[in-house]
Chains A and B, each alone.
Chain A
Amino acid sequence: MIENVDLSLVDWSRAQFALTAMYHWIFVPLTLGLSFIIAIMETIYVRTGNDAWKRLTRFWMTLFGINFAIGVATGIILEFEFGTNWSNYSWFVGDIFGAPLAIEGILAFFLESTFVAVMFFGWNKVSRRFHLASTWLVAIGANLSAMWILVANAWMQNPVGMTFNPDAARNEMIDFWALLFNPVAVEKFLHTVTSGFLLGSVFVLGVSSWFLLKNREEWLVKRSILIAGIFGLISVLTVIYTGDMSARTLSEVQPMKFAAFEALYAGKDNAGLTVFGILRDSDKKIGEKETKEFAVKIEVPDLLSILTGGDKNFYVPGINDLVNGGTEEHQQLSVSQKMERGQYAREVLIDYKRAKMVKDTEQIEIIRDIFRDRDFIENNFRYFGYAFLKTPEDAIPNVSVAFYSFHLMVILGFFFLIVCSLALFLLFKGTITKNRWFLWITVISIPLVYISSESGWVLAEMGRQPWIIQDLMPVSAAVTKISAGSVLTTFILFAVLFTSLLFAEVSIMVRQIKTGPKH
């Protein structure tokens, strides 16, 4: 399946997808969060009839519109890149993965795009209530859209509800509800959209603080701070709670990612949680792969075991254990064993295809029975993807990237908890305008919240390498066989385009903010 695949092709294909996804994620979370904040503001306007709230709504709506267009633009590329750059993947799991993408288009995207036109152009054309309903529908549509994409992504992290069809050489969906209520999907959805709400809130807080620093629009921006502060506080608490839930689930379904983001090489009971750490190269190796060790580390004893298993004596496996197969007390399959099992599954599939080619009906029936056998499915086919790994250490992701992205995300998450709480405290105390240091911190929080949000996706996607579908398919087997030069060319084209558009977007946003709410 991956014979003669050029590794630079895999790298450039990954780079192109990462580029598109990271640019896309600059714009989407603001859409998710700001859409609800706008809807809340407009609701107050409709209920009170106070035109100041309309001014406020329209100001944030203008910023929303600038951001919305480019989010839509980068989103379409992501959808089609599954086909253009990951065609083997598209066939291997398209029967499952395509469904949520199609449902997103049908159920969510039409809702969003239909009513966004009413939201922008309907002020003088439709009734207040119809306009308000449109604004809420845009917010709901945007978040529904995110839900289906996250269901699809969660399935890649934890494939459920499917069976393998050897005739078609692909996986097929057998339980849609398992896909939808995949525990990873539920947690991912809650964690990701609330992180978008948080980003939207911090954005509003930061921009509002800038107005206060400039002594402009005090009445309006204090109301923005009130709404964004409450919305942000609820969101950040949910983000922290769902993050904890996600990590626990991750320790079961993606233990290697879990160990990597804690840089935990040796598994142990009473495992401590690293709050802060700096990694350096270690002398030890796993196979040919370099490992890391802590140069500096602040750790809370036992906390990782407690958070993961609810007990300080809970055993958390490390990277070494996952690669080499654990200890006598805590046995588990090594990567080599999984590679053997996966290789067997692959050979059975190749034998089946050969039997089909020569029309050996007896052999066909025998192998079909093997593919129906529960034992084969759970002990061999489950590790199908391992057949494509060259060495056991190929199963280890980039530990530094996973560690730093995770810790950056978490530290900033708690920082925003403080920011949202303080914003509300100082607002209610009536001293927010006097505390200019806090206003500046809130302004600086805008880039920080983007870094935090992107870090989450870096962890999710880099931390699960080498898999495009956990344990079933590595990225090297999923890539479209085109020349690396072609992908490099399109990578450069997209990089130049997205970067130019990002600069344009930021420039327009800054100008609109400086202009302020219009009368």
Chain B
Amino acid sequence: MITLISYPFLQSYWWIIISLLGGLLVFLMFVQGGQSKIFSLPGNDIQKTMIVNALGRKWEFTFTTLVTFGGAFFASFPLFYATSFGGAYWVWIAILFSFVIQAVAYEYRSKPANILGKRTYDIFLFINGALGPFLIGVAVATFFTGSRFSLDYMNQVKWANQWHGLEALLDARNLALGLAVLFLAKSNGILFIINSVNDEILISQAVKKLTINFVSFLVFFLFFLITILLSYGISADWETGTVVAQKYKYLHNFLQMPLVLILFLSGIISVLHGVEITLFKRSRKGIWFTGAGTILAVFSLLLVAGFNGTAFYPSISDISSSLTIRNASSSYYTLKTMMYVSFIIPFIAVYIWYAWKAISSKKITVEEMKDEGHIY
């Protein structure tokens, strides 16, 4: 049966996996969102410790998902990897920089003799929390708004300016998605803290912060969504390989792929529901609805970026250099081999769920912060 699987099927399969990893990554950036609140949310040191420890037990998941997202992109769409990472150099380096300082900050912040001092590590966490989601949002926005690159006959990238990706910050749509992802991460971070700690005062402070962060997310996200739906996208003819700019491309994609539209709307509704039950019913389970909604919404947005004959990495400088899931993918053999490997993902999901449940079954309390041997 496997031998009957076609090359286009595998390319689509891997775009689905990439989109799913993208959705998971944005959800897991609740860790970053929570980190960006460590100076403004807690009322005292013990509350800050509780927040940091709630988030710190999950940071590896975000980190691992980011690494896997990068690795999967490299393996399945290496031309994107070479083009975007090599071209938009400064954006990716800034993202990496912010993640390096996060990884050590948790482990080192409360350890004696840490040289830089606890506050420095907390600032590291804050920088990663603010910069990471924002820059990843900006980078993902270029999947819709395009970048300034061209490819030569050997498929080697040439960036059209010396800004190497920083010019993306001059496009309001990119900024809007960057800010939307940041405020979504903040909202999810707040919801995760509400779910994870047993401290009524802290929870009530978190609920108050949720409104402004979520409204900010909605404003920026709607701005991005509306402008993208009304703008041009690059349409690719799978048969001939020709590409043309097409007005309302992403709107057409939603309408021509109703299942994706349903997934997207379900995601939005789920996110709204998660916030609604937290704000109005004082539920502490909002994170699960916003989390699932985030995954669904990002997943479907990335499907819209790459499916239905769409260039997922459009070039503004040379439209014919735009990357599609057809021209940027790995070979049939590699995609098929990687597909076999991907069959293990459900098993991984099960053990992650099991381990997550085992660690998070009890809410974090002040007493635990005083008794537990391994405290961040």
Q: How many residues of A contact B (CB 8 A)?
A: 88
User: Is A82 at the interface (CB under 8 A from chain B)?
Assistant: yes
Chain A's closest residue to B106 (CB) is A69
User: Is A73 at the interface (CB under 8 A from chain B)?
Assistant: yes
Q: Which B residues touch A82, using CB under 8 A?
A: 74, 81, 85
User: Is B280 at the interface (CB under 8 A from chain A)?
Assistant: no
Bound: A172/B334 CA distance, A: 8
Q: Which A residues touch B113, using CB under 8 A?
A: 507-508, 510-511
CB of A501 within 8 A of CB of B74, answer: no
User: Is B372 at the interface (CB under 8 A from chain A)?
Assistant: yes
**Closest 3 A/B residue pairs (Cβ):** A94-B78, A87-B86, A83-B85
Judged by DSSP, the binding face of A is helix
Knowing A115-B355, A125-B359, A483-B162 touch, does A84 contact B86 (C-beta < 8 A)?
Answer: yes
CB of A511 within 8 A of CB of B112, answer: yes
User: Is A107 at the interface (CB under 8 A from chain B)?
Assistant: yes
Judged by DSSP, the binding face of B is helix
Bound: A357/B153 CA distance, A: 9
Knowing A125-B359, A497-B97 touch, does A106 contact B342 (C-beta < 8 A)?
Answer: yes
Bound: A500/B121 CA distance, A: 12
Q: Which B residues touch A508, using CB under 8 A?
A: 108, 111-114
CB of B103 within 8 A of CB of A102, answer: no
Q: Which A residues touch B155, using CB under 8 A?
A: 91, 168-170
CB of A80 within 8 A of CB of B82, answer: no
CB of B57 within 8 A of CB of A121, answer: yes
User: Is B72 at the interface (CB under 8 A from chain A)?
Assistant: yes
Residues 350-380 of chain A, each 1 if its beta carbon lies under 8 Å from chain B, else 0: 0001001100000000000000000000000
Give the contacts of A488-519 with B (CB-CB under 8 A).
Answer: 490, 493-494, 497, 500-501, 503-505, 507-508, 510-512, 515, 518
CB of A80 within 8 A of CB of B373, answer: no
User: Is B40 at the interface (CB under 8 A from chain A)?
Assistant: no
Knowing A73-B104, A90-B86, A125-B361 touch, does A102 contact B68 (C-beta < 8 A)?
Answer: yes
User: Is B67 at the interface (CB under 8 A from chain A)?
Assistant: yes
Knowing A94-B74, A95-B331, A105-B68 touch, does A87 contact B85 (C-beta < 8 A)?
Answer: yes
Knowing A80-B85, A134-B355 touch, does A113 contact B60 (C-beta < 8 A)?
Answer: yes
CB of B81 within 8 A of CB of A94, answer: yes
User: Is B89 at the interface (CB under 8 A from chain A)?
Assistant: yes
CB of B68 within 8 A of CB of A110, answer: yes
Bound: A490/B85 CA distance, A: 14
B: contact size bracket = 35 or more
Bound: A357/B72 CA distance, A: 32
User: Is A472 at the interface (CB under 8 A from chain B)?
Assistant: no
Bound: A65/B333 CA distance, A: 39
Give the contacts of A65-124 with B (CB-CB under 8 A).
Answer: 65-66, 68-70, 72-77, 79-80, 82-88, 90-91, 94-99, 101-107, 109-111, 113-118, 120-124
Identify the interface centre among B60, B92, B338: most chain A CB within 10 Å of its CB: B60
Question: Interface with A: B178-186, B196-204, B344-352, which one?
Answer: B344-352
User: Is A481 at the interface (CB under 8 A from chain B)?
Assistant: yes
User: Is A418 at the interface (CB under 8 A from chain B)?
Assistant: no
CB of A87 within 8 A of CB of B103, answer: no
User: Is A165 at the interface (CB under 8 A from chain B)?
Assistant: yes
Chain A's closest residue to B66 (CB) is A76
CB of B104 within 8 A of CB of A80, answer: no
13 additional A-B residue pairs with CB within 8 Å, beyond A72-B60, A113-B61:
A66-B107, A69-B106, A76-B70, A79-B71, A86-B86, A87-B157, A91-B79, A98-B71, A98-B74, A103-B75, A114-B352, A121-B57, A505-B104
